[in-house]
A and B are shown apart, each in its own frame.
Chain A
């Protein structure tokens, strides 16, 4: 019985994460269109919902080309690696009390480790492509992820101090009185910015930077391998949104509605936030991006830990 229940949760979480991120392709196009006073895809099916299916079919029938100069095995493994590493953190996120794949006592660390690993997918993809643009994109991705990873972890320490645990379910439970977004507002801002950089979404999409690097690290990818990178990006958005909700907005906590509904609703709002930022902000220069991380955000994250720690010590 327990095993059966577990299986259902695993398959449910897996299916939900993948279908949500596929649906995001549609959502993003519609929302971007809305904010740019257009309609976006609205022809295939109701509201263009079948566009996702149409795109998927198209993707499958595209020629899946591996360039002759590429490093074949690595080239094939890289997109899978990205997808797996982005998918893994969903295992520790609690969607409702008891609905979690693996209630690790170091869930938060697991999440950080996995999101740090996801850079391998990109770097290896760029490296194996054996293409200047792809390599430049990969190098950028590595540097960017490293810099942002540093204070992403640090910005979460305030939450850990308040909850006294690395377990995500316990962190959510610790927010019963007050959501972390109020006492840890600085942490929230820092984590959100780091999240954008982690998923290399619009203001921080320098690894892709179509304007200068063709398509960055996935220049040479086509067909479903490109599709994996694409879905990986949306999975990342879903994952970071879910993490923001879990860590700062009380996860499944909320009145009236069932916990899963609260979780889904909050996550949805943050996903829309991701898309809104993409619609609004231009891409910074690369040195601005790095300088910002090391000179502004890292000190702020350290300050956040210092102050939070001091207050918690003083209160106890």
Chain B
């Protein structure tokens, strides 16, 4: 009996509490930088596309919403000819970001991309590609990987030794 009255009293005291609601469109919540929202494709610090069209993200995606086509440019760099993400299927799980070897595909703290038309949720490469490096400002895949591209031969990558002449006896 007493506990009932006490319960009512406690609820009454809630009149003077602060309200927890975040009045959304006027007041935006803080989202941490690693929040999993809209997906982007980033570029390396030199401005080249990071994506090497390895298909790992498409393979990792549990709902198969990524489609792309690999191609190679005159410098020997691989890039996606088209890159399409269907956001009406994407579950924002972030597996694609984890799978990506080049930090190309990244999830951002943006969630305001609702559309009236379902078809408008299919993003093409132009919509996805941003001009900056995203969350990893210094990473440049082609500078680190051993792969040869024009302007960077064998053994010229960072942390890489020059190639050994296997026919020579010199140490």
Q: List 8 A-B contacts (CB under 8 A).
A: A35-B12, A36-B14, A37-B17, A37-B18, A39-B21, A276-B8, A276-B11, A280-B11
Any chain A CB within 8 A of the CB of B20? yes
- Nearest first, the 3 A-B pairs at minimum CB distance are A280-B11, A280-B8, A35-B14
What interface size band does chain A fall in?
10 to 19
Q: With A34-B19, A280-B12, A281-B7 given, name 5 new contacts (CB 8 A).
A: A35-B15, A38-B21, A276-B11, A279-B11, A280-B10
Residues of B within 8 A of A182 (CB): none
Taken residue by residue from 156 to 199, chain A's Cβ proximity to chain B (1 for < 8 Å, 0 otherwise) reads as: 00000000000000000000000000000000000000000000
Q: Are B20 and A35 in contact, with the CB atoms below 8 A?
A: no
- Docked complex Cα distance between A279 and B12 (Å): 9
- Docked complex Cα distance between A38 and B19 (Å): 5
Taken residue by residue from 25 to 38, chain A's Cβ proximity to chain B (1 for < 8 Å, 0 otherwise) reads as: 00000000111111
Q: Are A34 and B14 in contact, with the CB atoms below 8 A?
A: yes
Question: B7-42: which have CB < 8 Å to A?
Answer: 7-8, 10-12, 14-15, 17-21, 23
Any chain A CB within 8 A of the CB of B169? no
Q: Among the listed A37, A276, A279, A281, which residue makes an inter-chain contact with B19, where contact means beta carbons less than 8 Å apart?
A: A37
- Docked complex Cα distance between A36 and B13 (Å): 11
Any chain A CB within 8 A of the CB of B114? no
Chain A nearest Cβ from B4, distance in angstroms:
6
Chain A nearest Cβ from B3, distance in angstroms:
10
Known contacts A39-B23, A281-B4, A281-B7; A276 and B18 CB within 8 A of each other? no
Any chain B CB within 8 A of the CB of A54? no
- Docked complex Cα distance between A39 and B22 (Å): 9
Chain B nearest Cβ from A42, distance in angstroms:
8
The count of residues in chain B whose C-beta lies closer than 8 Å to any C-beta of chain A is 14
Residues of A within 8 A of B10 (CB): 280
Residues of A within 8 A of B15 (CB): 34-35
Known contacts A38-B20, A38-B21, A39-B21; A277 and B8 CB within 8 A of each other? yes
Q: Are B12 and A276 in contact, with the CB atoms below 8 A?
A: yes
Chain A nearest Cβ from B9, distance in angstroms:
9
Question: A260-316: which have CB < 8 Å to B?
Answer: 276-277, 279-281
Chain A nearest Cβ from B68, distance in angstroms:
42
**Which A-chain residue is minimally distant from B16 (CB atoms)?**
A34
Known contacts A34-B15, A35-B14; A280 and B7 CB within 8 A of each other? yes
- Docked complex Cα distance between A33 and B18 (Å): 12
Q: Are B18 and A281 in contact, with the CB atoms below 8 A?
A: no
Chain A nearest Cβ from B80, distance in angstroms:
43
Known contacts A281-B4, A281-B7; A37 and B20 CB within 8 A of each other? yes
- Docked complex Cα distance between A81 and B19 (Å): 40
Chain B nearest Cβ from A313, distance in angstroms:
31
Residues of B within 8 A of A280 (CB): 7-8, 10-12
**Which A-chain residue is minimally distant from B8 (CB atoms)?**
A280
Residues of B within 8 A of A33 (CB): 19
Chain B nearest Cβ from A69, distance in angstroms:
38
- Docked complex Cα distance between A35 and B15 (Å): 6
Question: A39-53: which have CB < 8 Å to B?
Answer: 39
Chain A nearest Cβ from B135, distance in angstroms:
35
**Which A-chain residue is minimally distant from B9 (CB atoms)?**
A280
Chain B nearest Cβ from A14, distance in angstroms:
33
- Docked complex Cα distance between A66 and B10 (Å): 43
